Amino acid sequence: MNHSRIPIFFIMIVCFAGLFWFKAEAAPEKDPRVLVYATISKDPAASYPPLKQMVDYAAARLGGVGIEKGEVLLAKDEYQLAQYLREKKADWVSGSYYIAIMLKQTTGVEWLLRRWKDGIPEYHTVFITKHDSAIQSLDALQGGKIAFESPVSSSGFIVPMIILLEKKWEMELIPSFRHPAPAHKTAYVFSKSALNTASWVSSGAVDVGAISNADWEQKNTIPATVKGKLRLIGQSDPYPRMIEMVRPDLPPALKQQLKELLKHAHEQPEGKAVLKEFSNTNRFDDLPADTLKKMEGANTTISLIKPYKQP
């Protein structure tokens, strides 16, 4: 009986393999007439409509370089976004400072413009400690505990971690602020939000916290009762709030037309309205020369962070 089944079994394998090969060979390439915008989203249902409106606005004005329509791709994380670029499924992407540098490393993406999200062109990281702490500068943190926000937060992890690693400190992730700091190392823990970071610092659970200056300055992020127990001990250099990018092999004419279109969108009534829905964007502009220089430098030092990222 077993011998009679063997041929059927192998026939089924061959048929499935043939079907898979046929589908793979028949898979169409991306239509060059379609401009595809991609970004990371944790809430696709809410994110899609304003993003589609933005890419449609751009596509409708790029007919001179062969674009007929726009589409949106939403990625679950930075790794899927990189995959979209490598597979040439996406033409134009948006991301944070960290995402922009990571994509440059992994896909060769080209940094195109700075986006003024929520009216903010750039921001920086601030380091906070308890108001009655003995810590007067960041150097005094060595051997203590610091709270970061999340492994993919530019202001709440990537930028401050680069600063600490450049000091040649040994950093070690601990699962909870309740765990003691390892001997001869500086411990770090993820809080999941700027408010948690501030609360942990104000209660003395950790020695220092790293958050964005926007979170520190906005009245609705950290309650006055918590903020009153904190003080600043340092800050990073400024870096872009958001960055627009294109895949490296995008046709030059399309890249240039898209860049000029975005730079002037805020000057038109319709463009201004579309930008408002696009994460409350005020405008796009060129990345300053000094910012590009810093980003190129971070492009090499950020690789030091990989072993420290939360599993």
| CATH code, 34-121+240-302 | 3.40.190.10
Q: Which of 71, 83, 90, 81 is nearest to 41 (CA)?
A: 81
- Is 33's pLDDT higher than 90? yes
Domain boundaries, the chain: 34-121+240-302, 125-236
Mean pLDDT computed over 19-43: 71
Euclidean distance between CA atoms 266 and 290, whole angstroms: 24
- Is 160's pLDDT higher than 80? yes
Q: What are 103-121's pLDDT values in tens digits?
A: 999 999 999 999 999 989 9
**pLDDT score for 23:** 35
Fold annotation for 125-236: D-Maltodextrin-Binding Protein; domain 2 (3.40.190)
**Mean pLDDT, all residues of the chain:** 88
Euclidean distance between CA atoms 95 and 245, whole angstroms: 8
Q: What are 60-90's pLDDT values in tens digits?
A: 999 999 999 999 999 999 999 999 999 999 9
- Is 9's pLDDT higher than 70? no
Higher model confidence: residue 304 or residue 40? 40
> Is the pTM here over 0.85, yes or no?
no
pLDDT-derived band at 11, boundaries 50, 70, 90 = very low
Q: Which of 88, 81, 31, 83 is nearest to 59 (CA)?
A: 31
Structure tokens at 220: 């609705």
**pLDDT score for 306:** 53
Q: State the sign of the Cα–Cα–Cα–Cα dihedral 108, 149, 176, 302.
A: positive
Does this chain's domain 34-121+240-302 share its CATH topology with 125-236?
Answer: yes
- Is 156's pLDDT higher than 60? yes
Euclidean distance between CA atoms 309 and 143, whole angstroms: 19
pLDDT-derived band at 28, boundaries 50, 70, 90 = low
- Residues 6 or more apart whose CB falls under 8 angstroms from that of 145 comprise 174, 177, 181, 186, 187, 188, 189, 205, 206, 207, 208
Euclidean distance between CA atoms 231 and 228, whole angstroms: 8
**pLDDT score for 268:** 94
